[in-house]
Amino acid sequence: MVNVLERLGHEVDYPEGQTCCGQPAFNSGYFPEAKKVADHFLDTFADADMVAVPSGSCTAMIRKFYPELYQDSPQAKVVSELSGRVFEFTELLVNQLGVTDVGAKLKGTATYHDGCHGLRELGIQDAPRKLLENVEGLSLVEMDEAQSCCGFGGTFAIKFPQISTAMTQVKLGSATQTEADYLISGDPSCLMQIGGYFSRQKSSIQCLHIAEVLDQQ
């Protein structure tokens, strides 16, 4: 992500004090705990012009759920201002910077998995596809039910591993049908789930984050 943004002429900083956005606690229902972690995020990123996030899920947490977490709090204004400057990587490229071709090259066939948070909380659907369509040598094939959840869902994957795995089993079936070489997604957590299951099932499909693809020269 840093390489791509720098190649496009942007200056990128990486605040070394950063940790987590707090979503694991939030999604488990522990809102006050999540807010403490969110406080740390706000301290770390408050001065950024724009925050680029390589995950739809973390972006949704900050942009959509932070305002809910901080409603009626003295920081509400800071949060709402910062939330407006936080973007998922592909929407940042396409919608904010107006870039759809980053000059990347990758040979093969790929299918794109929409992470649920990016798709349904933020409405990101076209941006990653536009970027991938312009990757030289790469052809994009839609899989059946591309917008169906991969089964990760945070602690859900640990609390209900049987359901979580069954969902990924369906995903493997859909991806395999496309005969794609790569399954690409904008969310590391989906990729951990999908990649982990695909690897266990000895699938030949390689799972890649979209930033890795866009960085290929």
Partner 1 sequence: MSQSTNPTTQFQTDANRVTADVDRRSFLRSSLRGYQTTRDATQERFLNYESARIAAGDAKWEAIENLDVYLAQFADKLEARGATVHWCSDSAEARDAILDIIKKHDAKSVIKSKCMTTEEIHLNDLLEKEGFEVVESDLGEFIVQLRDEAPYHFVFPAMHLKKEEINTLFQEKLKSINTDDPEELTMVAREVLRQKYLSADIGISGANFGVAETGMISITENEGNARLTTSLPKVHIALMGIEKIIPRLEDLALMLPMLATAGTGQHLTCYNSQLGGPRQDDESDGPVEMHVVLLDNHRTRLLADPEQRDALRCIRCGACLNVCPIFKNVGGHTYGTTYQGPIGSVITPHLRGLKDWKHLSHSSSLCGACSETCPVKIDLHHHLLRNRRDAAGKGQGGLAERTLMLGFTIVMRRPWLYRLTGRLGKLGHVLTKPIHGTRIDPFYAWKKTRDLDDPAKQSFKQYWKSRK
Residues that bind partner 1 (CB under 8 A): 14, 16-20, 22, 24-31, 33, 36-37, 39-40, 116-117, 119-121, 147-149, 151-170, 192-193, 195-197, 199-200
CA distance 214 to 216: 6
Give the residue with the Cβ less far from partner 1, 110 or 167: 167
For the bound state, the minimum distance from the C-beta of residue 216 to partner 1, rounded and expressed in Å, comes to 18
Give the residue with the Cβ less far from partner 1, 135 or 143: 143
For the bound state, the minimum distance from the C-beta of residue 81 to partner 1, rounded and expressed in Å, comes to 22
Cβ atoms of 153 and 177 within 8 Å: the answer is no
For the bound state, the minimum distance from the C-beta of residue 177 to partner 1, rounded and expressed in Å, comes to 13
Residues with Cβ within 8 Å of residue 40, at least 6 apart in sequence: 17, 19
Give the residue with the Cβ less far from partner 1, 8 or 136: 8
Give the residue with the Cβ less far from partner 1, 83 or 165: 165
Cβ atoms of 190 and 150 within 8 Å: the answer is yes
- Bridging pattern class, strands 182-185 and 206-209: parallel
For the bound state, the minimum distance from the C-beta of residue 122 to partner 1, rounded and expressed in Å, comes to 11
b/e per residue 63-78 (b: at least 16 CB within 10 A): bebbeebbeeeebeee
Neighbour count for residue 136 (Cβ, 10 Å): 12
